[in-house]
Structures are given as C-alpha cells and as structure tokens.
Amino acid sequence: MSFEPIGVFDSGLGGLTAVKELLSFLPNENIVYFGDTGRVPYGNRSKETIIRYAKQDANFLQSKNVKLIIVACGTVSSVIDSLNGSFAVPFTGVVKPTAASAVKATKNGRIGVIGTTATISSKSYKKEIEALNASIEVFQQDCPLFVPLVENGFISKDDPIVFMVVKRYLQKLKEKDIDTLIMGCTHYPILREAISAVMGDNVTLIDSGRETALYAASLLKENGQLNGSNQAGNNQFFVSDRVEGFSNIAGLFLGRDIGNDVHRINIEEY
C-alpha cells in the first residue's frame, strides 16, 4: 500500500476531467492537482517552451512527494518522450492509453483525432495508432478555440456559438466516415454533448481523461501502490494564476463542489 498522493498536471483546467475519473475509480486516493492557469494554453507554444513548462510542473508535483504523475495534457503528452529523466516517479501521459482504447473501439478502421495545434502537429496519436495497427486510417483536426470556450464556461450544445465552432472544426472529419473520435485534449470532454450532436450517435467518442485514469489505476495496482485506506481521499488544488472563480469552473469539470481550498503558487520557482 502507498498513502502518498497521485500528482496530476495540465496547462489549465482540462486535467480536472482526469481527476473526475480518478475520484470515481479510486475514491480513497489522495490527489494533488496543478493547473498552469497563468500560462495556458500550451497548445500554441514551441516544443522547447512546452518541455520547459512541463519540467517545472513535474518538479512542483514531486515536491509534494507524489507516487505517480499523470500528465493530463495532450500537448505535453505529445512530447513526453523528451521528458525522460524529468520524473523521479512513475508517470503516464494521455496518448498511449487513449490510442489503445480507440484502436479497440473502431469497427471500420477509420479514427478521427482532435486536439490542440501542437498535439496535432506532433502526430503523436496518429503514430501511436499506426504502431498498434498499421491498417487503420487516421484523420486529424486541430481545434484551437475549444480550450478558451471551455475555460470561459461556453460548453452548452444549445449555445449557438458553441455549436457553430464545433461544427466548423468537425465537419471535415464527419465527411471522412470515421466511426471513432479521440478527444485528444482533456478539455474536450466538457464539450462532449456538442461534439456528439455534430458527429452523430454512430461515432464513438474516446475520452482521454477517462482512459488515462483507468490506465493509472491499473499501473498503481500492478506496482502495489494503491491506497488501502477506507476513508475518502484528500484532494489539493493549485494554480499559477488567480484563484478567484476557479472553484466555479472546476465544478463544471468535476461535477462536484470543491469549496475554496485552492492555492496559488509561483511555478517559476520550480
């Protein structure tokens, strides 16, 4: 057993979708979440900048004595091979478990991937899917407006702005006759209803946060590091910018009230 917390970081709030799934699968685990809200989004940054930010994020979590780091950011996960040596504990990104789930789900061998510009440019999901099954066709689309929509609370499928933006990005993918769509950024499941409305009921949506949480749970079990306590875990939330309003937006992601127990840190110190 291990009572140390699980560390989760993201460029902003999207990683909270992974935390939501962790709370469901592993309710007794302690979780430390860091959202780099002062430097969001990562998706339009250079690879060098993304790597520098990610190392600082990981250093902060490691200062909290975490037993596992979940990189709940599709953008960072797309360059995670460049971060070897930056983690003193086991870690996982979102790409590998999500790609594996998509390969298992597809029936017609046509998978779509949506993500930030950096994630799509890296072709990380495409490479991972093709490594698992070279016969699968992969179609990609970056959706740079999705993150600011979510971070500002524009999430309803009935909102004409939301629906227009989602349809604008996804129409070409819909025309490719895909039957599986990877939501390759942990912000995107918040737009699930709008995405589903555009793509139709015949397209299976793969939630990167959920798949990563499931993988993390299996990894902890394999390593004998599950928290054996019968008590609900303690969750801590940290951000790099103002804490005002964080609880309200976080509630949208987590589906529960976290109160005002949010702390601001200077990430540049790490």
pLDDT mean values, one per 10 residues, the chain (270 residues): 93 90 93 94 90 96 97 90 86 94 98 94 95 98 93 91 97 96 92 97 95 93 90 92 82 79 94
Residue 160 preceded by cis peptide, ω within 30: no
CATH T-level assignment (fold) for domain 95-208: Rossmann fold (3.40.50)
Q: Is the Cβ–Cβ distance between 123 and 95 less than 8 Å?
A: no
CA 194 to chain centre: 18
Whole-number pLDDT of residue 24: 92
Whole-number pLDDT of residue 2: 87
Is 143 annotated as catalytic? Answer: no
> What are the domain boundaries of the chain?
6-93+210-269, 95-208
**pTM for the model:** 0.88
Q: Distance between CA 178 and CA 41 in Å, rounded?
A: 28
Whole-number pLDDT of residue 32: 97
Whole-number pLDDT of residue 261: 80
- CA distances from residue 69 to 144, 172, 192, 255 in whole angstroms, order as listed: 26, 35, 26, 23
Q: Is the Cβ–Cβ distance between 153 and 52 less than 8 Å?
A: no
CATH number of 6-93+210-269, picked from 3.30.930.10, 3.30.300.180, 3.30.450.40, 3.40.50.1860: 3.40.50.1860
Whole-number pLDDT of residue 195: 98
Strand partners, 235: 31
Looking at 23, 58, 71, 73, which residue is catalytic?
73
Count Cα neighbours of 178 within 13 Å in the Cβ-side half-sphere.
30
Is 73 annotated as catalytic? Answer: yes
Looking at 19, 129, 183, 185, which residue is catalytic?
185
φ/ψ (deg, to 5) at 64 = -95, 10
Query: Quick check: do 6-93+210-269 and 95-208 share a fold?
Result: yes
Whole-number pLDDT of residue 81: 86
Whole-number pLDDT of residue 249: 80
